[in-house]
Structure 1
Amino acid sequence: MKKNLILVITFGLFAWLFLGYQAVDKDNTLVIGGPFEFTSQDLSKDGYIYTRMQVAESLFEVQSNGNIESKLASSYEVSEDGLKWQFHVRNGVRFHDGDLLTAESVVLSLSHALQKPGVLNQIPLKKLYVEGDVTVIELAEPYRPLLAILSHFSTAILAPDSFDSEGQVVDIQGTGPYRASVIAPPHKLNVTRFDDYWGDKPSIEEVHYLTGHRAESRALQAQSGQADLIYTLDPASIDLLNSSENLTVHSLSIPRTVLLKLNNEHRFLNSEHTRQALSLALDRHGISEHIVRVENSEANQLFPPSLSDWHLVNAEGATRNLPKAQELLKSQGWELNQENLLQRNDEVFELTLVTYADRPELTVIATAIQAQLKELGVAIDVSVDNSSAIPAKHQDGTLELALIARNFGTISDPLAILLDDTKHHIGSDWGPMNWSSQELNRILNDMVLSQDDSYRELAQQASVILAKEMPLIPVVYYTQQVSVNNRVQNFQFDPFENNYRVSEMYFAQ
């Protein structure tokens, strides 16, 4: 009886959230639907939702073209040796609780961020302090991507009263054009226009965010008009939504790549020749045309063209080549057995591939990869789990293969991401696993210290190493599919997925 009651309550909540939800004042409330849950007010874990909903802001902001511009910092100076950075905070900025933004509040917020796991811990920090009315960051050595770090959601600046005595965020008070009014993890976040915002005032009064894992439910929300913006649509629903008269579907390129993450110390995967063979067995064109349904989205390298410094223009294509793949595996001692599976020393080449349903196309791509590698003689067992299972399996060493969609623009400069990936041989949660390269580390270190125009040349060298040794196998470049109700005007899209830019939108009269 108790179990049945729980099921009824769960279904009722699901129906309310994803099928029967209606804004209280729909005329001036914009409803956004997306696949990802949030669990807290902790910026190191869930800060992305608070910057996307324009509750919290950082010292700097990444623009759509990848340039970094000042946000809460009005200006900054850097010493000639690159070790002392001075940041002037913008005058007249108020937190949602009414307190003024000061250099002291910036230092306090960043100090709390330093106590959490996150990108800020990557910088070679020597000292963080206030000097007059200026925030000062002193470094032990030059660090080129510092501004990119300071534009990350985990470094957003919050009011002092947002934190408890242990530095935990218990009442998020940011500086954005919207303030949080209802925080109901893991599915619901409502924000209300902040009338004392320092910048241009939003037109839309209320914005509601609702999490919905099932792509079919999100598509129904879009089609019925229950949601104004729906992010991360299932490619299979695009044709249906395109036929709807009340909305428009936008297909937008973002610096995210669908890729295979491998345990590079696994006895089957510890050779670059084996990894190259698995890559050659993939039919990327078929995945691009029939699953993702985005023309020319095949990925022949990790970094998409939008990250031009890192993208190899003359890289070989992503054409499938089974004979060459078979030849490479044969050189590693693999032979087909009577069941047409590869076998070596009495072991069959079989692996478990983990993926997650938050991005609906991943499970379909995983099934396609399973079939394509079967043609090569590799047996793949697909396991669909929560996205959190992948970092967990990485850390406990049980991960063999994973299919993920990795955003190389989480920090606008991929250098900061790669530095985190390569900090330890074990790798990062979403980067390479159990792989390192002394040559790559040398190049990245040179890039950190570079103060001249050698950055692009070094980035290209780094990309060549990653393409050759293939500790991660690229599959397709990701395209964000967003449905926009026709009542929403001036729709804006952030390819770096840091900001929904709702404050720039308005409703048709």
Structure 2
Amino acid sequence: MIKTFFSTKNLLVLFVSLFILAAAGCSSDNSQSGTEGEKAAEEKKSVTMIFSFKSPNMDPHTGFTPIRAGVTETLLKLDKNSSIEGWLAEHWSTEDNVTWEFAIRNGITFHDGTKLDAARVKASIERSIAVNESLAGSLKIKSMEAEGQTLIITTIEPYPALPSELVNPYTSIVNTEGEKEMGAEAFRNAPVGTGPFQVKKFTSNQEVQVSKYDGYWAGEPKIDEAIIKFNEDANVRALALQSKEADIVYNLPAEGIEVIEKDEHLKVESVPGLRSHFILYNQQSANVSDVKVREALNLLLDRKSIADDIMLGHAEPANGPFNSNLPFGLDDKVQELNVEKAKSLLSEAGYTENADGKMEKGRKPLKLELITYKARPELPLIAQLLQSDAAKAGVDIEIKNVENADTYLAENTDWDLATYSNNTSPRGDGSYFLNTAFTETGALNVGKISIPQLNEVIKELNTTTDAEKRTELTKDAADIINKNVAHSYAVYPNIIVGINNRITNWQPTAEEYYILTHTLDVK
């Protein structure tokens, strides 16, 4: 019995010991595995960005987010000097500005592994025109033929501006077969492009998560993933940068720069851009259909104060649609604030000043509705400044903040004027802005501007090849726009971007198209 007892005890001890050792071994293995997992997670390169505009979907043919997020690419692009260069198209040629031949690069695949060829490009351009009717007018395509890696585009008339129009992010190339397989809604939220990053997860109007595409044709992306958040509140964006929740933040408020620059881990880039902030007039409104009224309002726009007091020096006062530093910019003197002359012009338009100092016609006060939006923090401030100076001339301006200015202005006709911002020469040429902002089919012509003399100049510009002649015509168009006060141009703003110093091999560019690139890296 004793022998049996000790044998059983020894076996029990041995069993317990083995169990403890096994448990310890498992614990050791788990610990090592966990450490490796944590190390792998730590080594994964990730970047967080914040854009100032919401994105309801990721359809590249109706929005710019896909190209900015590195998901899609266009046939042609702009280089750092705003000159056009090949991208998905290696080179292109034409003999008559009507028949264009584009050589599509070999060795490129979409995110689903499908080879990029001319037929896929043709199908993508056809889709872009189908879902974005403004492209039909800007591309002027009569027909397309695809054979292997060669795409031939025939335009409806001689059209030397076609290469510039193919830089447009709305012409991003996607594999349209993906739409058939995924369904329209799913495809609009995760388009199958050729860029260095592919959509991992998209949340409407909140954020998009992207991961690197290992098969990217121009070289393996340096980072593994990125989160791009959308937030229209400038203060929230600035705080996210200061708290290190975001690495790159676009459109910082000028008044918040000083605090950010005091942080040794952060920096601010203020880059002269190709954009103009301006007042857009609704020519459908009887209140501003008279050019004398628009001339008066133009004199009530204090451009110097906007540049100095609102933009804190991160802008230049504007004298027309195009920056005067550009070859086709005007040499005109910047219009100064002049309340008395504005009142005189209103009198010429039939308004009289009543006992309360208000301008009225037929006992009806001149009261205007001004639309603005906060995605660009300076625009509501410009609206308030104009409101204040207009009051000195007896004009009441009621400011209305909207969430999506483009949609509101396009769907409503009862507004009078709006603060707006647009790249007026995003492709080193003024024709894009002139065609989209002033022609009948232009996507940006929400004010229904129609100036016969301007239309003729734009029409001639669209068929002119000679560079000097194009510059001359663009200046003529700008002069007509100013004389008719189709818009009131306020300032040429800098692009203000906050950057964490961990970001390397990256800087903001003037065209604002190519933001998340395959060369961007982190320390």
- Fold shared, TM-score > 0.5 on shorter chain: yes
Which of 271, 292, 303 is the matching residue for 1:284?
303
Q: Which shifted more, 150-159 or 26-35?
A: 26-35
1:451 aligns with 2:465: yes
Q: Name which of 78, 82, 96 aligns with 1:66.
A: 82
In 1, the alpha carbon distance for the partners of 2:415 and 2:43 equals 45
Do residues 386 (structure 1) and 403 (structure 2) align?
yes
Q: Report if aligned partners of 1:391, 1:430 keep a CA contact under 8 Å in 2.
A: no
SS at match of 1:44: coil
Is contact 2:61–2:172 with CA below 8 Å preserved after alignment? no
Superposition deviation, residue 504 in structure 1:
2.4
Query: 1:98 and 2:113 equivalent?
Result: yes
State the Cα distance separating 1:187 from its structure 2 match.
1.1
2:284/2:413 contact within 8 Å kept? no
Q: 1:419 matched to which residue of 2?
A: 435
The partner residue of 2:422 within 382, 402, 406 is 406
Q: CA separation of 1:411/1:185 partners in 2, compared to 1, >3 Å: closer, same or farther?
A: farther
Contact kept, 8 Å, 2:57 with 2:204, in 1: the verdict is yes
**Contact 1:394/1:429 (<8 A) preserved:** no
Q: How many angstroms apart in 2 are the aligned matches of 1:329 and 1:457?
A: 33
1:461 maps to 476
Q: Deviations over 1:289-310 (max 9, x none)?
A: 111112562112121235x243
Segment of structure 1 superposing worse, 393-402 or 223-232: 393-402
Whether the 8 Å CA contact 1:300–1:315 is kept in 2: the answer is: yes
Number of corresponding residues? 478
Native 8 Å contact 1:252 1:480 kept in 2: yes
Tell me how far 1:108 sits from its aligned partner: 1.1
Conservation of the 8 A alpha-carbon contact between 1:299 and 1:477: yes
Q: Which residue of 1 aligns with 2:488?
A: 473
Q: What TM-score does the superposition give when structure 1 sets the normalisation length?
A: 0.89
- Specify the SS of the correspondent of 2:229: strand
Question: 2:349 matched to 1:335?
Answer: no
Letter in 1 for 2:258: D
Corresponding residue to 1:28 among 27, 45, 58:
45
Q: TM-score of the superposition, structure 2-length normalised? A: 0.87
Counterparts of 1:431 and 1:316 in 2: how far apart (Å)? 26
| Alpha-carbon distance between aligned partners in 2 of 1:81 and 1:429, rounded to the nearest angstrom | 28
- For each residue in 1:96-139, what CA deviation from the matched residue of structure 2 results, as whole angstroms up to 9, or x when unmatched? 11111111111111111121125531232221121354111111
Change (3 A) 1:271 1:253: same
Conserved in 2, the CA contact under 8 Å of 1:63 and 1:69?
yes
**Map 1:269-348 → 2, pairs under 5 A:** 269-294=288-313, 297-305=316-324, 308-312=326-330, 314-348=331-365
Q: Is the 8 A contact 2:128 2:135 kept in 1?
A: yes
Judging changes above 3 Å, is the alpha-carbon distance between structure 1 residues 254 and 118 closer, same or farther for their aligned structure 2 residues? Answer: farther
Residues 248 and 27 of structure 1: is their aligned pair in 2 closer, same or farther, counting only changes over 3 Å?
farther
Q: Does 1:376 align with 2:393?
A: yes
Q: 2:519 aligns with which of 489, 492, 504?
A: 504
Q: What SS does the corresponding residue of 1:237 show, helix, strand or coil?
A: helix
Please name the residue that 1:50 is paired with: 66
Q: CA deviation at 1:396?
A: 3.6
SS in 1 for 2:55: coil
Matched, 1:83 2:98: yes
What letter corresponds to residue 468 of structure 1 in structure 2? Answer: K
Secondary structure at the aligned position of 2:82 is classed as coil
- Whole-Å Cα distance in 2 between the matches of residues 33 and 265 of structure 1? 36
Q: Is 2:259 aligned against 1:259?
A: no
Instruction: Confirm or deny that 1:439 pairs with 2:470.
Output: no
How far residue 213 of structure 1 moved from its aligned partner, in angstroms, is 2.2
1:250 aligns with 2:264: no
Unaligned stretches of 5+ residues in structure 2: 1-40
8 Å Cα contact 1:354-1:384 kept in structure 2: yes
2:218 aligned to which of 177, 190, 199: 199
TM-fit CA distance, 1:391: 4.1
Q: Deviations over 1:222-265 (max 9, x none)?
A: 11111110101112211111111210011112111111111224
114 and 431 in structure 1: CA distance in 2 versus 1, 3 angstrom threshold: closer
SS at match of 2:509: coil
Q: Residue 342 of structure 1 aligns to which amino acid in structure 2? A: M
Aligned residue for 2:180, secondary structure, equals coil
Matching residue within 225, 229, 233 for 1:210: 229
Q: Which stretch has the larger CA shift, 253-262 or 265-274? A: 265-274
Partner of 1:141, secondary structure, is coil
The answer as to whether partners of 2:314 and 2:494 remain within 8 angstroms in 1 is no
Segments of 5+ residues of structure 1 without an aligned counterpart are 1-23
Asked if 2 retains the 8 angstrom alpha-carbon contact of 1:411 and 1:417, the reply is no
Distance 1:484 1:346 in 2: 54
Task: Specify the alignment match of 1:430 in structure 2.
Answer: 444
Partner of 2:193: 174
Measure the CA separation in 2 of the matches of 1:163 and 1:394.
28
How far, CA to CA, are the matches of 2:408 and 2:427 in structure 1?
Answer: 22
SS at match of 1:98: coil
Q: What SS does structure 2 have at the residue aligned with 1:461?
A: helix
Paired with 1:134 and 1:95, the residues of 2 have a C-alpha distance of 18
Question: How far apart are 1:377 and its partner, in Å?
Answer: 0.9
Mean Cα deviation higher: 24-33 or 207-216: 24-33
Deviation at 1:449, TM superposition (A): 1.0
